[in-house]
Amino acid sequence: MDALASLAHGFAVALTLQNLGLAFVGCFLGTIIGALPGLGPSNGVAILIPLAFTLGLPATPAIILLTSVYYGAMYGGRISSILLNIPGDEPALMTTLDGHPMARKGQAGEALALSGIASFVGSLLATCGLVFLAPLLVRVALLFGPAEYFALFTLAFATLGGVASRNQAKSLIAAALGLGIALIGVDHQTGVPRFTFGNVHLYDGINFLVAIVGLFAISEVLLFLEHRGEGEHAPGKVALGRVTVPLAMLKRTWATMLRATGVGFLAGVLPGAGASLGSFIAYTLEKGLAGKGAGFGAGEPRGVAAPEAGNNAAAGGALVPMLALGVPGSGTTAVLLAMLLALNITPGPLLFQRNPDVVWGLIAALFIANVMLLLMNLPLVGLFVRVLRIPTRYLMPGVAMISFVGIYGISGSTFDLLEMIVFGVAGYLLRKLDVPLVPIILGILLGDQMEKNLRRALTISDGDWSILWGSWLAIAIWTLAIVGFLAPLVIGRFVRPKVKDTVAQ
C-alpha cells in the first residue's frame, strides 16, 4: 500500500504540462533513435544529455526526458528489424528472425502493431514489477556471483540450437566466429592484448554495434546491388497489408507475451545479463515450447511478440539495480546513472529515502511514457510501413549513410567505419553461403561474458572447478541448461507428429 501512495505522489510530480511535453518529445526522439541503425538506447540517452543540460532542466524533468528516450528507443529498435531486416540496436536483434519474414509476407503492419503491443505489455508489467518487487529482486540479483553468471550464459548458449538455420554446422560456425571476435582486445583478467596485432584501435575490442550495423545493414545494401532490377527483392513492391493486429493474433500471443515479460524482466534485473539476453532467452523459450513445425523463423507472430516483450521488460528490469543499488544493469542505465550523478542525485541504497520525488516521479514517468509510446506507435504504424514504399534506389543509400554516420557520430573513428565495411562484405558472403548472422552477434555479446565469468569464478576459487556448482542457484541454472539443451531433441522425437497435426488443421 505504501508503494501505491508513493506512486500516486509520483504521478502528482510527473503530471505537469511541461513534463508531459518532455515525455512526448523524449518518446518521439527515442523511437527515431531506436529505429536508426547504429544508434541504440544507450547512445541515444547519452547524446541527449547535453540537450537536457542546455535546456537547464531540473532533476525530475531531465530524468523524465531521458527515461522517455530510453523506453522510446526500446520500442523503436523493432521498426528497422521488421521493415528492413536490420536491427536498430542489439536488443532488437531477435525481432528480425520472425518480424522481417512477416513483412515479406505482406504483414509488415501487423508485425509492427503486434510488436508495439508486446513492447507495451513487457514494459508495463516490468514497471509494475519495479514498483512492487524491487527490494526483493535486489536480494536475488546479489545471489549472482561469477559462477552463477557463467551458468546463466551457458544456459543461453545451450539453447542456441533453437535459433539455428537449416544447417546446424553453419550456425556453429557463426557462433564460433562471434566468440572469436569477442576475444579481440585486452584480456580483462590478465591485462595482455589478444589478437590485436599491435593495433591500438583493436585494444578495446570490436564494438558490437559496428559488427551489427556492418553485418546487417551494409550487407543488405550489397544484396540489393546484386539484385538490382529484379522484382522479388525490391521492397517497393511489398504489400503493406493491414496496420492493426487481428484479435485472433493477440489471443494467440498473449501467453507468449506474459512468459517473455517474466524472462526478460529477470534478465534485466541481473547486472551483467541485460536486454539482449532477455529477448534471446524469451525467443528460444517460446520456440522450444511451440516445438518444431510451428513456423518460427518464417514469420510466426509469437516469434515477434516474445523478443519484443522480453527486451522491453528487461529495460524496466534494468532500472531495479540502478535505482535500488546504484548499479547499472545495462549500458543505458550506466548512462542514466552518470546523468543522475551530474544532477546531484546519488543513486544507491538510500535513493528512495533521500530523493523520493525523483524516484517516484521517474517511475510515474515510465508509466506515462509507456502509454504515450503505445498511443504514438500504433497510429504511426501506417506511417512506418510507408518506408517500404520508398524506392530501393533511394532507401538503401539512405540506410547505408545512416549506418555510417551512426557509427562515426559516436566514435569519431574512421577505423570503425572501415571495420564496419569489412563486416558488411563478410555479412554478404555469409548470407550467400546460408550462414546465419544472429549467432555471430550472440557469440560476441554472450561469449565474452561467458569467458570472463568462468575465469572470475576460477580466480576466486583458486582453480577449483567445484565453485561452478557450489550454490543451489548455480545447480538450478545448470539443470535448466541441461533441460534446455535436451528438450528440443526429446520434443523433436516424440512430440513432433502431434505438433504437425495441430499446424495442419
Cα–Cα distance measured from residue 98 to residue 100, given in angstroms and rounded to the nearest whole number = 6
Binding segment (CB under 8 A) for another protein, from list 108-116, 126-134, 322-330, 372-380:
322-330
Residues 422-461 close enough to bind another protein by CB under 8 A:
424-425, 428, 432-435, 447, 451-452, 454-456, 458-460
Q: Which residue is it, cell 536480494?
A: 139
Size of the site for another protein (CB under 8 A): 118
Q: How far is the CB of 271 from another protein (least distance, A)?
A: 6
Sequence-distant (≥ 6) Cβ neighbours of residue 103 within 8 angstroms: 82, 83, 111, 238, 388
Q: What track of x and - describes contact with another protein for positions 366 through 405 (by CB under 8 A)?
A: --------------------------xxx-xxx-xxx-xx
Q: How far is the CB of 121 from another protein (least distance, A)?
A: 29
User: Does position 238 bind another protein by CB under 8 A?
Assistant: no
| Secondary structure element (H or E) that encloses residue 63, with its range | helix 59-84
Please state at what angle helix 17-35 crosses helix 59-84, rounded to 10 degrees.
Answer: 30
Tell me the chain's radius of gyration from C-alpha atoms: 22
Binding segment (CB under 8 A) for another protein, from list 216-224, 247-255, 257-265, 369-377:
216-224
User: Does position 318 bind another protein by CB under 8 A?
Assistant: no
Tell me the one-letter amino acid at 354: R
Cα–Cα distance measured from residue 118 to residue 250, given in angstroms and rounded to the nearest whole number = 9
Q: How far is the CB of 185 from another protein (least distance, A)?
A: 10
Is 80:395 a contact under the CB 8 Å cutoff? no
- Comparison of 128 and 172: residue with beta carbon closer to another protein: 172
- The β-bridge partners of 52 are none
Cα–Cα distance measured from residue 458 to residue 81, given in angstroms and rounded to the nearest whole number = 39
Q: How far is the CB of 435 from another protein (least distance, A)?
A: 7
- Comparison of 19 and 43: residue with beta carbon closer to another protein: 43
Q: How far is the CB of 257 from another protein (least distance, A)?
A: 30
Sequence-distant (≥ 6) Cβ neighbours of residue 492 within 8 angstroms: 291, 292
Q: Considering only CA atoms, which of 63, 77, 64 is closest in space to residue 122? A: 77
Return the residue of 343, 368, 437, 440 that touches another protein, per CB under 8 A.
343
Is 102:299 a contact under the CB 8 Å cutoff? yes
Q: How far is the CB of 324 from another protein (least distance, A)?
A: 11
Q: How far is the CB of 502 from another protein (least distance, A)?
A: 30
Q: Considering only CA atoms, which of 395, 118, 216 is closest in space to residue 110? A: 118
Return the residue of 5, 418, 489, 490 that touches another protein, per CB under 8 A.
418
Return the residue of 50, 383, 466, 472 that touches another protein, per CB under 8 A.
50
Binding segment (CB under 8 A) for another protein, from list 89-97, 153-161, 165-173, 296-304:
165-173
Q: What share of the chain is helix, strand, coil (3-state, %, to 5)?
A: 80, 0, 20
Tell me the one-letter amino acid at 327: V
| Cell numbers placing 366 | 515510465
- Comparison of 42 and 127: residue with beta carbon closer to another protein: 42
Residues 65-124 close enough to bind another protein by CB under 8 A:
none
- Give the chain's end-to-end CA distance (angstroms, integer): 48
Residues 141-160 close enough to bind another protein by CB under 8 A:
141-146
- Comparison of 8 and 401: residue with beta carbon closer to another protein: 401
User: Does position 47 bind another protein by CB under 8 A?
Assistant: yes
Q: How far is the CB of 115 from another protein (least distance, A)?
A: 23
Q: Is the dihedral of CA 301, 304, 306, 312 positive or negative?
A: negative
Binding segment (CB under 8 A) for another protein, from list 123-131, 156-164, 200-208, 496-504:
200-208
